[in-house]
A and B are shown apart, each in its own frame.
Chain A
Amino acid sequence: MQKEYLTVKEIVGPLILVEDIEGVKYDELIEIGLPNGEIRQGKVLEISTDKALIQVFEGTSGIDIAKTRVKFLGKGIELPVSEDLMGRVFDGLGKPMDDGPEIIPEKYLDINGNPINPYARDYPSEFIQTGISAIDGLNTLVRGQKLPIFSGSGLPHSHVAAQIARQAKVIGKDEKFAVVFAAIGITFEEADYFISDFRRTGAIERTVLFINLADDPAIERIATPRVALTAAEYLAFEKGMHVLVILTDMTNYCEALRSVSAARKEVPGRRGYPGYMYTDLASIYERAGRIKNKKGSITQIPILTMPDDDKTHPIPDLTGYITEGQIILSRSLHKKGTSPPIDVLPSLSRLKDKGIGKEKTREDHADVFNQLFAAYATGKEAQELAIILGESALSDIDKIYFKFSDEFEKRYVGQGYDENRTIAQTLDLGWELLSMLPKSELKRIRPEYIEKYLKSKSYALD
């Protein structure tokens, strides 16, 4: 028989302090009975001999000192899992939110998970075709990677993420595939965009949704990505599925983390975020990957909005140190009407080298990638120079590059949200654009590939 305590002593922000307790463990789940009969959940943040500091997920409004009852459940937060999770909608703590029945669990899993032994990991090397040239061609995504989208307020990151979720596949294979979607403190409209997009394309059948909206309790957000990843781990490593996890928006998660830290009066790190934020974020992001001798995989696409488009803000900064690259959206491209507005130059996929080339994509991929990159960078520099000195000051070759980078943005990057390109189409388009340049400029491509793939003047300058 579990004891209930009536010994709440302090309520500060999202935290309550309970005294005269015994047998309580660190990180334990608790139930809080409010005077009006409502039940809330919380977890133990700190415990000493007779005192426990508790974080309440649904917030502390309405909790009083005299009549609130606290029950310690003797276990951590657990998620009931079974294959029936697919196609269902849950709240941020994993309780069903749609009209469907309760999940009949196959088992209960602790949402904190355990760290994967680095020795047990398998290196991600399987190419995922997203159908987006700027990603497939230049910042290739592979199975088991964690590749965040760095966005800003008002930029169409939802469209990009939805497009990836809709189009992602591994060429030549028909395997069990699932999407786990966690909405972390986003607005109803944004969440609705995803849900109706999943419905429209029929993807909802193989999707698990966890929804914590902007008006839901902020502290619950600390659990939401963990709940989602627990579901993903179950589907991937126990049911052998390839799971794509979309976490949006991690900025809201970090803010919730900061508010708990502030309530605990911890020494703040940069911009008031707690000093352990790196470790905390790592415990989420590092749950992506592949495991030796297991069929499934977890590929993570966290989305975060950079406050004031600042990449050095602690949230994108720490994220970039943990994830394997980043896709950066550009406001100026967006304003120019390029969609998706992926800023190719500062974007990066660290795992691309092992995912491209012969038998994965195509033998010429790495060379074309290098050449496009170099040419676009040169073109961008020429454009900057033209702003200062005027276009007439450019040399002839710079003028060609100038034009190249314009075309590149328009045709290669700006494909729109509905076009789904195969990798061959993406590579061929790359060659087509490169044919704008004199052959002698293609220094980074092996001569035999130029011979084989460059269709001279298939694309004429006007």
Chain B
Amino acid sequence: MNGKIIKVSGPLVLADCMHDARMFDLVKVGDKKLIGEIIELRGDVASIQVYEETAGLGPDEPVISTGKPLSVELGPGLIESIYDGIQRPLDILMEKTGEYITRGVSAPGIDRNKKWHFVPSVKAGDSVRYGDTIGTVQETNPVIHKIMVPSGVEGKIEKIIEGEFCVEDTVAVIQTDKGFKNITMLQYWPVRIPRTYQKKLVPEIPLVTGQRVIDTFFPITKGGTACIPGPFGSGKTVVQHQLAKWSDAEIIIYIGCGERGNEMTDVLMEFPQLKDPKTGDPLMKRTVLIANTSNMPVAAREASIYTGVTIAEYYRDMGYNVAVMADSTSRWAEALREMSGRLEEMPGEEGYPAYLPAKLAEFYERAGRVICKGADSREGTLSIIGAVSPPGGDLSDPVVQGTLKVVKVFWALEDKLAYRRHFPAISWINSYSLYLDNIHDFLKENLGEDWMRMRQEGMKLLQQETDLQEIVRLVGMDTLSTSDRLILDTAKSIREDFLHQNAFHEIDTYTSLKKQYRMLKLIMMLHEKCIQAVGEGTPIESLTNLKIREDISQMRFIKEKELNKFSELEKRVDEEISQLTADNKQQAEL
């Protein structure tokens, strides 16, 4: 069916004679066949958001509907790819058109010519239905790609073969009610519709990120949601990169949505070099990148987070723990606002469309821990971590508020901390996590009974420190009681020796849960011993200047393999303090 352009205004194109078109159908616009999507229909006039630059487009050029919604291609070959917002592979585009992205180029999201070794896991005669695994492909060293029966297909396996295949080759034939159905390794799924599952469960296992402030104080679960808002320069992107590097998800989808080009280049150059702490393979072997930088077309930016999350759901359905990093959802919301403005919709807060909170909620609800489709009832999780860039760091921004309504974890970045070069600049006062109860059992089992209590205690000290500092600022240090001064000492130690973490140091960049436990335990142990010693009359100055404090400030550099060093340190805490108390008593007797 052919329509005709009647109006062009930036990325918005109006076309008439579109009577058979449906909402969200994909269309080819103009003589250059630019890709667009229908976002409004009035009579036979369709409003189309175009995913490419529209300069040079004019009235009377043709518009052709493909009759299909915007979809992603799913199959082996996704991992290690770098796509733009509508799943065009950027490396192939570069081969085709050079260093600049020009218009009207298209390339399939998945390489059609690459051969994969397909190993069947069912045999002829087996009954299969939607979601069942019929075979596997070793996609990269750590990732086994399950080939699943696509939606709407059910029946008996007629034929299935092992061997080397391209994604479009038939690997199995299924006898269905409606006749024989050829199964390939390539599937399609519309990006705006969440992939289906059997049942959603409450997430109970933490997503270990190796970042101490996150894992210890504000944990996120596998299948959970979190947001990181902060002004520019507060280190959002570094936190996102750290999570993409070290979190113990098996698949990472990193969406650079309207951010800097050089940052994506950084990821592209660094990830193939870095090793996954669990598998030892390069991190790129478990990563898919979506890069729609700020200067690339704005409508494709709107689509990019859906493209990313749909790919993530596909791997979740194979039973993997998947994490999506979206940097930044503010840019996505701005793309929505721009399209909304051009559609002349009535604006809500700050010019954002009134449906912004609903869209945000829809997006974050695609996260979760689920029982996937398929006979084996495998479990998969999808965690979403979204960065938000509020103007001026103002948290009353509609995107922040809309996000906070749906996410369970809030990591508040503060520029004040960043200026002091305290990284990650996550405020321990304003942040929160609502998953503490969910993961309670897991942590008790894996770390120890006292973990939750220590965490609580540490949090309390940090809170008390804030209050005490207020007093110090007003009347000076001298007025504080000894116990208050001890609180300040320990809180400082928690801040500097525990919360502060150097992303660029080879050991400090990742800390396992076990090590976090030992570190915090040491600090809290010293604190308790000091309280005891003060009670017995030991002067506070000598406790502040304990030699062990120097070792504590270096404990972050203890290697993961040498955690027994902590036992030595614990012993030394004991020794030094009892020595001090004994000396003190002796002096008192004299």
A contact residues vs B (CB 8 Å cutoff): 22-28, 45-50, 76, 112-124, 144-145, 237, 266-270, 275-276, 278-279, 282-283, 286-287, 289, 291-292, 294, 311-314, 317-318, 320-322, 324-326, 345-346, 348, 351, 353, 370, 373-374, 377, 385, 388-389, 393, 443
**In the complex, what distance in Å separates the CA atom of A3 from the CA atom of B101?**
33
Distance in Å: Cβ of A75 to nearest Cβ of chain B: 9
* B260 interfacial by beta-carbon distance below 8 Å: yes
**In the complex, what distance in Å separates the CA atom of A113 from the CA atom of B98?**
13
- B232 with A118: CB separation less than 8 A: no
Chain A to chain B contacts (Cβ below 8 Å), 30 pairs: A25-B55, A28-B58, A49-B7, A49-B59, A115-B101, A115-B261, A118-B90, A118-B264, A118-B291, A118-B293, A121-B264, A123-B262, A145-B262, A266-B341, A276-B334, A279-B298, A279-B335, A282-B258, A286-B293, A313-B392, A314-B391, A317-B232, A317-B392, A321-B389, A324-B260, A351-B262, A373-B421, A377-B421, A389-B476, A443-B553
**In the complex, what distance in Å separates the CA atom of A380 from the CA atom of B386?**
35
The answer to whether residues A393 and B476 also contact, given A115-B295, A320-B232, A377-B421 and a CB cut-off of 8 A, is yes
- B260 with A322: CB separation less than 8 A: yes
- B56 with A283: CB separation less than 8 A: no
The answer to whether residues A121 and B55 also contact, given A267-B341, A326-B233 and a CB cut-off of 8 A, is no
* B132 interfacial by beta-carbon distance below 8 Å: no
- B233 with A325: CB separation less than 8 A: yes
- A76 with B55: CB separation less than 8 A: yes
Q: Which residues of A contact B260 (CB under 8 A)?
A: 286, 322, 324
- A289 with B261: CB separation less than 8 A: yes
Q: Which residues of B contact A276 (CB under 8 A)?
A: 10, 298, 334, 338, 341
- B419 with A377: CB separation less than 8 A: yes
Distance in Å: Cβ of A135 to nearest Cβ of chain B: 16
- A114 with B262: CB separation less than 8 A: no
- B99 with A291: CB separation less than 8 A: yes
Distance in Å: Cβ of B571 to nearest Cβ of chain A: 25
Q: Which residues of A contact B463 (CB under 8 A)?
A: none
**In the complex, what distance in Å separates the CA atom of A385 from the CA atom of B476?**
10
Chain B residues 81 to 105 lying within 8 A of chain A, measured CB to CB, are 82, 90-91, 93-94, 98-102
* B296 interfacial by beta-carbon distance below 8 Å: yes
Chain B residues 42 to 56 lying within 8 A of chain A, measured CB to CB, are 53-56
Residue B391 contacts which of A26, A76, A270, A345 (CB distance < 8 angstroms)? A270
Contact code string B36-78 (vs A, CB < 8 Å = 1, else 0): 0000000000000000011111111000000000000000000
**In the complex, what distance in Å separates the CA atom of A434 from the CA atom of B258?**
41
- A24 with B262: CB separation less than 8 A: no
* B473 interfacial by beta-carbon distance below 8 Å: yes
Distance in Å: Cβ of B456 to nearest Cβ of chain A: 30
**In the complex, what distance in Å separates the CA atom of A267 from the CA atom of B338?**
10
Q: Which residues of A contact B10 (CB under 8 A)?
A: 46, 276
- A116 with B58: CB separation less than 8 A: no
Distance in Å: Cβ of B401 to nearest Cβ of chain A: 15
A51 nearest CB neighbor, chain B only: B7
A319 nearest CB neighbor, chain B only: B232
Instruction: From B178-186, B265-273, B514-522, give the one contacting chain A.
Output: B265-273
B contact residues vs A (CB 8 Å cutoff): 6-10, 14, 53-60, 82, 90-91, 93-94, 98-102, 231-233, 256, 258, 260-262, 264-266, 268-269, 291, 293-296, 298, 331, 334-335, 337-338, 341, 347, 350-351, 389, 391-394, 415, 419-421, 473, 476, 504, 553
Q: Which residues of A contact B53 (CB under 8 A)?
A: 112, 114
B390 nearest CB neighbor, chain A only: A317
- B334 with A279: CB separation less than 8 A: yes
Q: Which residues of B contact A294 (CB under 8 A)?
A: 99
- B100 with A118: CB separation less than 8 A: no
- B58 with A24: CB separation less than 8 A: yes
- B296 with A115: CB separation less than 8 A: yes
Distance in Å: Cβ of A339 to nearest Cβ of chain B: 23
Q: Which residues of B contact A283 (CB under 8 A)?
A: 294-295
Closest 6 CB pairs of A and B: A312-B392, A282-B294, A27-B55, A114-B100, A286-B295, A48-B7
**In the complex, what distance in Å separates the CA atom of A145 from the CA atom of B262?**
9
- B100 with A117: CB separation less than 8 A: yes
Q: Which residues of A contact B391 (CB under 8 A)?
A: 270, 312, 314, 317-318
Q: Which residues of A contact B269 (CB under 8 A)?
A: 123
Q: Which residues of A contact B268 (CB under 8 A)?
A: 118-119
**In the complex, what distance in Å separates the CA atom of A25 from the CA atom of B61?**
10
Residue B347 contacts which of A118, A267, A289 (CB distance < 8 angstroms)? A267
- Which of the listed residues A49, A117, A317 has the most CB atoms from chain B within 10 Å of its own CB? A117
**In the complex, what distance in Å separates the CA atom of A414 from the CA atom of B523?**
42
Residue A286 contacts which of B9, B261, B389, B420 (CB distance < 8 angstroms)? B261
- Which of the listed residues B258, B260, B421 has the most CB atoms from chain A within 10 Å of its own CB? B260
**In the complex, what distance in Å separates the CA atom of A118 from the CA atom of B394?**
30
- B265 with A123: CB separation less than 8 A: yes
**In the complex, what distance in Å separates the CA atom of A287 from the CA atom of B261?**
10
B504 nearest CB neighbor, chain A only: A353
Q: A47-B7, A119-B94 are in contact. List 17 more A-B contacts (CB 8 A).
A: A26-B58, A27-B55, A28-B58, A46-B8, A114-B102, A115-B100, A115-B293, A117-B94, A117-B100, A118-B261, A121-B261, A237-B99, A317-B391, A318-B391, A326-B233, A346-B233, A389-B476
Distance in Å: Cβ of B230 to nearest Cβ of chain A: 11
- A279 with B261: CB separation less than 8 A: no
- B421 with A370: CB separation less than 8 A: yes
- A144 with B262: CB separation less than 8 A: yes
- B99 with A25: CB separation less than 8 A: no
- B233 with A116: CB separation less than 8 A: no
**In the complex, what distance in Å separates the CA atom of A98 from the CA atom of B520?**
70
The answer to whether residues A279 and B294 also contact, given A24-B58, A118-B90, A270-B350 and a CB cut-off of 8 A, is yes
- A116 with B337: CB separation less than 8 A: no
The answer to whether residues A275 and B351 also contact, given A289-B261, A326-B233 and a CB cut-off of 8 A, is yes
**In the complex, what distance in Å separates the CA atom of A327 from the CA atom of B221?**
39
The answer to whether residues A275 and B334 also contact, given A48-B59, A49-B7 and a CB cut-off of 8 A, is yes
A120 nearest CB neighbor, chain B only: B99
B9 nearest CB neighbor, chain A only: A46
The answer to whether residues A47 and B8 also contact, given A117-B94, A117-B101 and a CB cut-off of 8 A, is yes
Q: Which residues of A contact B296 (CB under 8 A)?
A: 115
The answer to whether residues A47 and B341 also contact, given A114-B101, A115-B293 and a CB cut-off of 8 A, is no
- B59 with A119: CB separation less than 8 A: no
Q: Which residues of B contact A312 (CB under 8 A)?
A: 231, 391-394
Residue B265 contacts which of A22, A25, A121, A346 (CB distance < 8 angstroms)? A121
Q: Which residues of B contact A27 (CB under 8 A)?
A: 54-56
- A46 with B7: CB separation less than 8 A: yes
Q: Which residues of A contact B393 (CB under 8 A)?
A: 312
**In the complex, what distance in Å separates the CA atom of A49 from the CA atom of B14?**
10
The answer to whether residues A117 and B232 also contact, given A123-B269, A279-B338, A317-B391 and a CB cut-off of 8 A, is no
- A113 with B266: CB separation less than 8 A: no
Q: Which residues of B contact A313 (CB under 8 A)?
A: 392
Q: Which residues of B contact A119 (CB under 8 A)?
A: 82, 90-91, 93-94, 268, 291
**In the complex, what distance in Å separates the CA atom of A144 from the CA atom of B262?**
9
Distance in Å: Cβ of B14 to nearest Cβ of chain A: 7
Q: Which residues of B contact A278 (CB under 8 A)?
A: 258, 294, 331, 334
- B7 with A23: CB separation less than 8 A: no
Distance in Å: Cβ of A353 to nearest Cβ of chain B: 6
**In the complex, what distance in Å separates the CA atom of A346 from the CA atom of B420?**
9
Distance in Å: Cβ of A349 to nearest Cβ of chain B: 10
A294 nearest CB neighbor, chain B only: B99
Distance in Å: Cβ of B397 to nearest Cβ of chain A: 10
Q: Which residues of B contact A348 (CB under 8 A)?
A: 233
- B6 with A286: CB separation less than 8 A: no
